Amino acid sequence: MNEFFGKNIISVRDLDQQKLELIFDATNKIINMSQDKRGEIARGKTLGYLFFEPSSRTRLSFESAMALLGGMSVGIADATSSSIHKGETLGDTVKVISSYCDVLVLRHSLDGSSRFAAEISSKPVINAGSGTEEHPTQTIQDLFTIKKEKKKIDGLKIGIAGDLKYGRTVYSLLYGLRNYDVDIHLISPESLRIRSDSTYDIKKELSYTESSSIDEYIDDLDVLYVTRIQKER
């Protein structure tokens, strides 16, 4: 995992199959460690987080993972309780909080926010959701889960249903699936279909079908990935 030391995780597009498999292998090793050994991995390290959008599972997943690895977490879970609420810029907040930690996790409503943060942060930045763009750590977990449950990813028929227009996990998942030989079926109402302007490079490496009816595919799917309506976007 030294390949990732000191590196940002901003987009799944930066992770090829070899890098993804390296993460999966390391994850399995950590899962199989004793609690005592696992608790030494991040001992003395601090994870900082800035969540400018509501979050429960993502934020608590980072906090609990850091605790299990022996580290600690500090950060802002509610923008109204931070200096942002008093007019401080995102850039200044990132600079300050990154000085308190060893790695910084950011969730923000603006597209490009994580990449911007990575350019000015003194520590590596992990994108925990940036606007309508991506949610790379969710995709890493999703791909790991698919492989764990199905024992493979290549050769699977995968349906992705729901709000495909604004669901940032969808775009990250498609970027990740470009690394595998899979059949993709996108299922959503016409008004919530995937944005063509965001999938130009995906189409070069991944073919998929689109439909408004799940009945057309449900019996043949190996995996069905469902997203909720993104009312906040």
57 as an active site residue: the answer is yes
3-state secondary structure of 224: strand
The contacts of residue 220 (CB under 8 Å, 6+ apart) are 157
pLDDT score for 198? 67
Pairwise CA distance, residues 140 & 47, whole Å? 19
Catalytic-labelled residue, pool 59, 107, 168, 178: 107
For the segment 183-193, the average pLDDT, to the nearest whole number, is 91
What is the DSSP secondary structure assignment for residue 116, as one 8-state letter? H
pLDDT score for 40? 97
Domain 33-130 in CATH 3.40.50.2300: no
Radius of gyration of the chain, Cα coordinates, nearest whole angstrom: 18
DSSP sequence for 122-170: SS-EEEEEETTTB-HHHHHHHHHHHHHHHS-STT-EEEEES-TTT-HHH
pLDDT grade, residue 166 (50/70/90)? confident
Task: Report percent pLDDT > 70 for the chain.
Answer: 96
Name the segment(s) of the chain with CATH classification 3.40.50.1370: 33-130, 152-226
pTM above 0.85, yes or no: yes
Name residue 223's amino acid: V
86 as an active site residue: the answer is yes
3-state secondary structure of 186: strand
Q: Could you read off the pLDDT of 44-99 as tens digits, one per residue?
A: 999 999 999 888 889 999 999 999 999 999 999 887 777 777 778 999 999 999 99
Catalytic-labelled residue, pool 80, 86, 228, 231: 86
3-state secondary structure of 196: helix
The answer, yes or no, to whether residue 21 has pLDDT greater than 70, is yes
Pairwise CA distance, residues 175 & 138, whole Å? 12
58 as an active site residue: the answer is yes
pLDDT score for 233? 55
Pairwise CA distance, residues 192 & 173, whole Å? 17
Catalytic-labelled residue, pool 58, 93, 139, 169: 58
DSSP sequence for 46-111: EEEEEE-S--SHHHHHHHHHHHHTT-EEEEES-GGGSGGGGT--HHHHHHHHHTT-SEEEEEESST
The answer, yes or no, to whether residue 33 has pLDDT greater than 60, is yes
pLDDT grade, residue 232 (50/70/90)? low
151 as an active site residue: the answer is no
Catalytic-labelled residue, pool 123, 135, 165, 168: 135
185 as an active site residue: the answer is no
Which architecture characterizes domain 152-226 according to CATH? 3-Layer(aba) Sandwich (3.40)
Strand order in the sheet with 125-130: 72-76, 46-51, 103-108, 125-130
